[in-house]
């Protein structure tokens, strides 16, 4: 696992921004990020159209973690990486050098969920 200070990115993103992909941690030259934990929460409706919501790097699209639509319901509340219908593909693995972190949906654009709360912990090295 990467060593360094644990940092976090958190907020609420409109689903339209997630559909196109939005950077939540900007790239820094000569630095790389390792996602170590996180959660998502559906707001304003259940995810019914998207395939996945991914936390990935900004250039190559390497996915650190993903949530299937079935995980993102308003009744589920906070859904942490490792819960049912989540995948920790490259959790604890350094993403590409000089790449940022973005949140993006895959599959069909989501329109039934209005926004998504996110909290992602990462180490910068």
**Predicted local confidence at residue 1, as pLDDT:** 56
pLDDT, one tens digit per residue, over 39-80 is 999 999 999 999 999 999 999 999 999 999 999 999 999 999
Strand 22-25, strand 101-107: pairing: antiparallel
Strand 50-57, strand 101-107: pairing: antiparallel
The pTM score is 0.94
Residue 4: exposure state from Cβ atoms within 10 A (0-12, 13-18, ≥19): middle
Domains defined for the chain, CATH in brackets: 6-124 (2.60.120)
CA pair distance 24, 103, nearest whole angstrom: 7
Tally Cβ neighbours within 10 Å of residue 26: 11
């Amino acid at each position: 696992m990467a060593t360094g200070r644990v940092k976090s990115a958190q907020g609420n993103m409109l689903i339209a921004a997630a559909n196109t992909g939005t950077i939540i941690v900007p790239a820094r030259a000569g630095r790389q990020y390792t996602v170590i934990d996180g959660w998502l929460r559906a707001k304003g409706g259940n995810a019914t159209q998207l395939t996945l919501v991914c936390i990935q790097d900004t250039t190559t699209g390497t996915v650190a973690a993903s949530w299937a639509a079935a995980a993102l319901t308003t009744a589920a509340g906070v859904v942490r990486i490792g819960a049912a219908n989540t995948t920790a593909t490259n959790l604890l693995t350094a993403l590409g050098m000089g790449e940022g972190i973005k949140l993006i949906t895959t599959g069909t654009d989501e329109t039934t969920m209005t926004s998504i709360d996110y909290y992602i912990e990462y180490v910068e090295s």
